[in-house]
Amino acid sequence: MEPVCPLDYRYGRKEMKEELSYHARVRRCLEVEASLARAHAKVGNIPHEDALEITRKATLEHVSISRVEEIESTIKHDIMAIVNALTEQCENDAGRWVHLGATSYDIVDTALALQFRGGIRMIDGQLDRVEKVLSSSSDRYRDLVMVGRTHGQYAIPITLGLKMAVWLAEFHRHRARLEEVKKRVLVGKMSGAVGTGAALGEHAFEIERLVMEDLGLGVEEAATQIVQRDRMTELFSHLCNISVTVEKVATEIRTLQRPEIGELAEPFDERNQVGSSTMSHKRNPMQCENISGLARVVRGFILPAFENGIQWNERDLSNSSSERFIISHMFVLVDEILHKLAWVLEGLVVNEERIADNIRRAGDVIMAESLIMTLVRKGMGRQEAHEITRNAAMRHYAGEDYREVLLSMGEVSSLLSGDELNVALDPASYVGVSAERVNLIRKMIGSP
């Protein structure tokens, strides 16, 4: 069969796709079945030797994917297909204890938590990679003065290091949130068809505890047939939040790569890379644009994720089909865009000459706020200083030289000497505590 989903042939790292694959799903379900058997043996419900036999056979070496699929094609139930395939592999009648007291989603949701753990570990690794490059770059460009922009217009000076430190702090918060969400999402359940644990008997609590301790998971305190979906919704919301930051940074880079700005650019292989099929001169920000497109797909999955929290009574099956798309696609795509952003940042082209040119091109007028604060320190009222500098700016936009306009104004020339005006209009003298802010953020995340 030819692949249809772009994850099969275009997007996603091998490691993450393996963790979220169908094979991994079956393997994790087998791990849970084996853990359940061992828990039953520990409380005396089944013979220890039978639990060991189930454990030995609960691997993909014994339970083949092809056999699971063959059984499912007949009985139309994916978990019972796994149960039956495992049962028939067990010797000495040990298979009779497979899935004892469990319902399908005891196995599915607990297995999902194991997949989440692997996926979260990889996402955190990518966040760590982004943090490291941003920490290094923010330090390197801590004092590189550039034009700040708001509303797409010139604002006042900023440093590139501060811009990067802002991104760094945001990614650091994402790592903290990811650590926090693990406590609520890495949980499983072993409590039966409606959460009562009736089929597990008098040792229901102990069996659930033993299984989750064995697997390194927390316990869903009060389940229906499923782990409650507010947990997954929190995780998926956080993945969407990460995607917003990744796209924000990518958008800033490709905005500043525009030829008329030209301050930053993503890496480009000048020897081999093609920017356009017809316009051979193009150096398009293709990775940053790709990040933006995939980030929007990630966020598109959040609506069905929220809807899946609404179930009929103790559960229905409406969540199952959509989660097969949501879980795999969100993890794979968030991992993908983080990987691509890290690559862009590690090879980021910083054109310091163009940054300096753009400050000069912006002109003295962008230093209006600096001039206001200088006039206030000299005794002028803040509102009066604002109006004087605003009028000077309007005359500048009409064609006059901003500095000459200011010198012609008695209110300004009576308070400031030429040298004092020069200092007030010097971008390098008006970046405030930018350097200290960079140092603070890097210290906060533990950078040397």
- What are the contacts of 65-72 at 24+ separation with CB within 8 A? 65/22, 65/23, 65/26, 68/26
Among 151, 280, 281, 417, the one annotated catalytic: 151
Round to whole Å and give the CA distance between 337 and 58: 35
Active site includes 292? Answer: no
**Cβ(98)–Cβ(37) below 8 Å:** yes
User: What are the two backbone dihedrals, phi and then psi, of residue 354, each rounded to the nearest 5 degrees?
Assistant: -70, -35
**Cβ(192)–Cβ(226) below 8 Å:** no
Round to whole Å and give the CA distance between 382 and 393: 16
In 3D space, the residue among 297, 298, 300, 305 whose CA is nearest the CA of residue 322 turns out to be 305
CA-to-CA separations, 110 to 116, 129, 174, 212, 302, in angstroms, rounded:
10, 29, 25, 8, 22
DSSP character at residue 381: -
H or E segment to which residue 146 belongs: strand 145-150
**Cβ(68)–Cβ(30) below 8 Å:** no
Among 23, 64, 77, 276, the one annotated catalytic: 276
Active site includes 151? Answer: yes
- Using DSSP, state whether 3 is helix, strand or coil: coil
Beta strands in 258-329 (DSSP E): 264-265
Round to whole Å and give the CA distance between 192 and 247: 42
Beta bridge partners of residue 145, listed in sequence order: 159
Angle, alpha carbons 103-104-105 (nearest 5°): 95
Beta bridge partners of residue 154, listed in sequence order: 149
Question: What is the set of active-site residues?
Answer: 151, 276
